[in-house]
Amino acid sequence: MTNPYTPPASSAATPANDRDAIKARVSRPATALIVMASIQSVFVAIYLVSAVVVVSRGGSVSHDYVGLSIGCLQFACLMLIAIGAAKLGFLESHFMARLGSSLACIPFITPFMIVGIPFGVWSLRLLADPNVRASFPNTSPTSTQDGG
């Protein structure tokens, strides 16, 4: 005799399988953001290193302090995008994943000017899903604060 109140075997999913399925869902935009932020950060780093070389050889970059400060800010934001995307891919920190995805939506910070915007929006859309949000530690699907 079978129990009529047990769920069917095909619909019973273990939490580990759910987490693996969610990891597979978020891996594509996370990987895209990591790759794009890494490539763009190389270009920004080349600019910053060349400015340091000019200064070390006795040259003056006094006319380009604005460019250097923008380069440093962009490099820091690109690192935050890459770290946030890694946290998204490994489902470690909802706050950092959201921060990195949000920064990717800003046109002059995002990798390659506007190419990163669709991946940032895609990541934010996935982070708004209650099932994805619940997969992060210290977050609940209904909480309104960014925890974790």
Q: How confident is the model at residue 145 (pLDDT cuts 50, 70, 90)?
A: low
Distance, CA of 148 to CA of 136 (rounded, Å): 7
Tell me the mean pLDDT in the region 116-137. 93
Instruction: Calculate mean pLDDT across residues 113-140.
Output: 89
pLDDT at 114 over 60: yes
pLDDT given at position 40: 92
Alpha helices (H) in 8-64, listed in sequence order? 15-56
Instruction: Tell me the C-alpha distance between 129 and 13, whole Å.
Output: 18
Average pLDDT of 23-28? Answer: 94
Please tell me the predicted confidence (pLDDT) of residue 26.
Answer: 95
Residue 127 has pLDDT above 90, yes or no: yes
Whole-model pTM: value is 0.79
Residues 6 or more apart whose Cβ sits within 8 Å of residue 121? 105
Lowest mean pLDDT among 20-29, 40-49, 95-104, 136-145: 136-145
**Residue pLDDT, tens place only, 40-98:** 999 999 998 988 888 778 776 665 777 788 889 999 999 999 999 999 999 999 999 99
Mean pLDDT of all residues in 99-109 = 91
Q: Tell me how far CA of residue 140 lies from CA of 27, 143, 148, in angstroms.
A: 21, 5, 10
